[in-house]
Structure 1
Amino acid sequence: MSLYTFAKNVVAAILYPVYRIKVVGTENVPDNGPVIICSNHISNFDPPVVGITAPRDIYFMAKEELFNNTFLRGLLTRLHAFPIKRGMKDRNALRQALNILEEGNTLGLFPEGTRNKTGEVGKGLAGAGFFALRSQAYIVPCAIIGPYKPFKQLKVVYGKPIEMEQYRENKVSAKDVTQVIMQEIQKLIDENR
């Protein structure tokens, strides 16, 4: 058993009962081929929650500072995280994310870039649109519907993949594609509150 699978099982055993997690729509995540799961971001717990509820192993970007510690770097790497420099274009992180997708894996993104503590969906950054346009990945919107309160239900909803071909053909901007993704996440929240 890999460290990723072991960690996923341990975290699931803790978080499922504490937050009474209900998962909807995992059948919307394709079984194979590249996938980008785009979720709203309301808590530091979002990455592990998406990680334990998604039917596939997910690679996440994490802030570069976490990789300064040798032990933590080794652990995060084995848990499918890779570093990104925040607040600037990080070509290495972009290349690594595209390679992950080219290999047919799943990339987890929080397009807002930072937590939105109001619970509302914030404005997305262009990064999600960039990866959606530059890869042939399925784009799966995901809504985390809180709050994160012990023994109150937390819902995680996976929507149908967003059809990207028209946006790629019409050379729509990354920023506009991210906006489409954010609208789909908002729709999932509205339909499943």
Structure 2
Amino acid sequence: MSKLYSVGQFVCRVYLRLFFRPKIIGKENIPDNKGVLLCSNHINNLDPPFLGAFLKRQTRYMAKAELFELPVLKQLLPKLGAFPIKRGSSDRQAMRSGLKLLRDGEVVGVFPEGTRSKNGKLGKGLAGVGFFALRSDADVIPCAIVGSYKPLSKILLVYGPPVDMEKLRKEKASPEAATEEIMSSIQKLLDKYQK
């Protein structure tokens, strides 16, 4: 874990605890020393820091390429372990970067919907997530962020048990089929914990 990431993670934890009442469930589902693909619903710009703030390991994110063109962020994002993806097209370089990180035993956080939900409901997942899940041996961890980011409100983050990808890998399933399986697992967590 880089020093800058560690400091940023600490600041995020303090901020989240100060303004919200975060509750974390299921951290034991994340292995200590192998590739992990965190797949979460996406409801707010605070989701990426929240997803990784309370973990012992550094979480790396794909971020839209436009962010890497902004003066401060183009220096900061790579130092925090983020890598760019061009939205709206098949970005082979981003796919290669993400796959290499997973094969190297890193934690990669993704939001399969590709954008924030406007109504709070889980949308359709993009096939790229299934590609990562099938082409790596990473543990695929479905995650659910439940609640609102209203000041002093309760926000819940659930790391679910790994999605069993072995059957799909053996069947040589399509990335779309793998994504559907992952989205179904996220939806089950949302159904269980949303009130």
| TM above 0.5 | yes
Root-mean-square deviation over aligned CA pairs:
1.1
Secondary structure of 2:141's partner?
A: strand
Structure 1 segment 73-88 matched on structure 2, within 5 A: 73-88=74-89
* TM-aligned CA deviation for residue 71 of structure 1: 3.5
Q: Distance between the aligned counterparts of 2:187 and 2:64, measured in 1?
A: 26
Letter in 1 for 2:132: F
Q: Distance between the aligned counterparts of 1:54 and 1:173, measured in 2?
A: 31
Identity of aligned residues (%): 50
Q: Distance between the aligned counterparts of 1:70 and 1:122, measured in 2?
A: 32
Secondary structure of 1:166's partner?
A: helix
Residues 53 and 156 in structure 1, CA contact (< 8 A), matched pair in contact too: no
Secondary structure of 1:21's partner?
A: strand
* TM-aligned CA deviation for residue 163 of structure 1: 1.1
CA deviations 1:79-118 (Å, max 9, x no partner) are 1111111101111111111111111101101000010021
* TM-aligned CA deviation for residue 16 of structure 1: 2.0
Secondary structure of 2:72's partner?
A: helix
Secondary structure of 2:45's partner?
A: coil
* Structure 1 partner of 2:9: 8
* Structure 2 partner of 1:168: 169
* Structure 1 partner of 2:101: 100
The count of aligned residue pairs is 193
Residues 36 and 137 in structure 1, CA contact (< 8 A), matched pair in contact too: yes
* TM-aligned CA deviation for residue 70 of structure 1: 4.8
- TM-score, structure 1 as length reference: 0.96
| Unpaired stretches in structure 1, ≥5 consecutive residues | none
Structure 1 stretches of at least 4 aligned residues deviating more than 4 Å after TM superposition: none
Residues 146 and 153 in structure 1, CA contact (< 8 A), matched pair in contact too: yes
CA deviations 1:42-78 (Å, max 9, x no partner) are 1111101102033321110111111113532121111
- TM-score, structure 2 as length reference: 0.95
Residues 41 and 115 in structure 1, CA contact (< 8 A), matched pair in contact too: yes
* Structure 2 partner of 1:69: 70
Structure 1 segment 1-193 matched on structure 2, within 5 A: 2-193=3-194
